[in-house]
Every structure is written in structure tokens, then in C-alpha cells.
Amino acid sequence: MIKNISLWILTFILLMAGSLAEAQLPVKIARIGIIGASSQATGGHYLDAFRQGLRELGYADNQVMIEARWANGVAERFPTLISELLPLKLDVLMVGGAAGALAAKSAKLTIPVVFASVTDPLGYGLVESLARPGGNLTGVALAMGDGFSGKWVELLKEAAPKASNFAVLWNPSHPLGEVFRKETQAAGRGLKVKLNYYDARDPEAVGNVLARVEKDRAAALLVTPSPLFTSQRTRIVDLTTRRRLPSMFFSKEFVEDGGLMSYGPSFSESWRRAAVYVDKILKGSKPADLPVEQPIKFEFMINLKTAKLIGLTIPPNMLVRADRVFR
């Protein structure tokens, strides 16, 4: 009897010891480096969307170490920021925008790289194909390449039919800058709208360009995609409301900040979906075998409060077609 009790006590002690040892096993920390194309102030919600994506996949905050850097809309900063992160022995590097992905590819990194918000990864030469990327880069595309840009002109003209001259803000250093320019030009000719192009490559140039747009008294403003413009969206939106300019943007963040309209895929959703790629890579998948994801939904946003502020009446059929109307 005493022998049986002793055996039971010994078994109990061993089970408890095993449980305690298991409970004290260190949590595996995923080390993720992130470089955003815009600034922390204007792009922080993208990082929030990425964190949310990780939580949806079951990652607790103590299972992830994220080191974030921001390029502030200046593509030339990416190589330096990548160099800053490499000594941290990352499991995955995530970059936002085409400039970041191109910098990562040029750096010939050995660690996996996941990109988000890249408009044309195949056209940039980032991947061998969308189905089988090859190399160590993959991620989420935005699909704003050929055949897309003219829609911005069409929607802006529909909202402001009396406007006959648009100012177009574009960044010639953007890999798709010429595509945006050519397609908006073609749409302008078809709609008999004169388009005046204002180029900016850095934050200082944005300020100078906006002053010229104001001086030239444009009837409306169209802003083409660029991380630079995203980082400067507060001052851009301020001009449109102060000068009562109908405006068209490429992402809803501008509309949330007071811009009139936007049309394009969701940048935040792109970052949230990038978490899926990071998760698969952490579990052993290779970027070369993970197909690039294309957006399946494009969002049309209208800020009705801004329309009233600038004295513009949005046609009812446009309000019906909008995915979201800010009232």
C-alpha cells in the first residue's frame, strides 16, 4: 500500500515537473523588419493593418518583434534603411511600395522579402511571374498599371463637368509615372479636358508645385500614385479645400483626410494581406513558391462633406456607385 502511494506521488511529481518545464519553454519570437514608403504619421495605419493581419492568424504580441523604418516618400532612403535592419537577424523583411521592393532586390538579400502595395511587380522585374515569383521576393500587388489611370480623369470630369483644365500632380521617378501620364493624357483628350502636369520628386518640390497650382488657378486637381504624395497628403488636401478644388486621389486615406474622391485598391488591405505571406514564410514556405496576390476589389470613395464645403453637387448616380460616402 505504502509502495503504491509512493509510486503515485512520484508519478505526480514527474507530471508536474514536466508541465512546469513545458510552461517555461521560451516563446519563439518572429523577427520582422518593416520599411514603409511614406512617413510614420501618414503610414502608421498601414503598420496597424499588418499587425491586425498577424493577430487574425493567431500571433500574440509577445510572439512578434517588429522593427519599423520609414522612407518619408524618398526612394533613395531605402538602401540605408535596409542596411540598418540587416544586423537584427530578421526572419522576414517586409517593404511597402515598388521603390522599397526594388531596393530589396538590388541589395541581393538572402532573407525572404514580402512586399505590399506594389502596382506592377512583374513590370518592375521583381518577380519572374505572378504565379511563380522565383527568387526571394513575393507579396501583394495593387494592379494600377496599364488601362487604369484614365478612370481618374473620367470620374473627376463626371463630378465636376464644368471644369475644363485639370492640374495633374505626378512623380516622374515613380516606375509607372509615364504610364499614369500617358493614360491620363489620352483620357483628357477624349473628354476635351486640358491637363497641366506638375512634377515633384521630393517634399520640397511638392510645396513649390502646390504653390504653382494655386497661382495657375487650376479648376481641379488629380494626384497620381506616389509614396511621396502619400507622405505629403495633409498639405495637398489643404490646398484643395482652401482653393475649393474638386480633387481625385488614388487611395481612400486622402478622402478620409478631406479630399473629395478616390478610386483604387485598398493600401491598408494590401498590408493586412501581406501578413499571410509572412506567416507562410515563418512556417517554412519559400517566397519563390508563393504566387503574388492581386486585388479583386477597387474602392470608389466620395467625401460629401468636402463636396458641400467647396460648393460642388455630386451627381446622384455617382453617390450610388460609391463604395463609401463620407457624410
Query: 312 and 187, same structural domain?
Result: yes
**Domain-embedded: residue 108:** yes
Q: Which CATH number is 195's domain given? A: 3.40.50.2300
* Adjacent-strand bridge partners of 196: 167
**Domain-embedded: residue 135:** yes
Cell readout for 6 is 509512493
Query: 317 and 186, same structural domain?
Result: yes
**Domain-embedded: residue 41:** yes
Per-residue pLDDT of the chain (327 residues; tens, 9 = 90+): 544 545 555 454 444 545 544 444 455 799 999 999 888 887 888 999 999 999 999 999 899 999 999 998 888 899 999 999 999 999 999 999 888 999 999 999 999 999 998 887 987 899 999 999 999 999 999 877 667 899 999 999 999 999 999 999 999 988 788 989 999 999 999 999 999 999 999 889 999 999 999 999 999 999 998 888 988 999 999 999 999 999 999 999 899 999 999 999 888 899 999 999 999 999 999 999 999 998 877 899 999 999 999 999 999 999 999 999 999
Domain span holding position 272: 30-143+266-289
**Domain-embedded: residue 14:** no
Query: 304 and 190, same structural domain?
Result: yes
Q: Which of 144, 135, 97, 129 is nearest to 116 (CA)?
A: 97
Number of domains in the chain: 2
Query: 103 and 186, same structural domain?
Result: no
The number of beta carbons lying within 10 Å of the beta carbon of residue 126 is: 25
Beta strand 220-223 with 113-118 is unpaired
How far, in Å, CA of 223 to CA of 220, rounded?
10
> Whole-prediction pTM value?
0.74
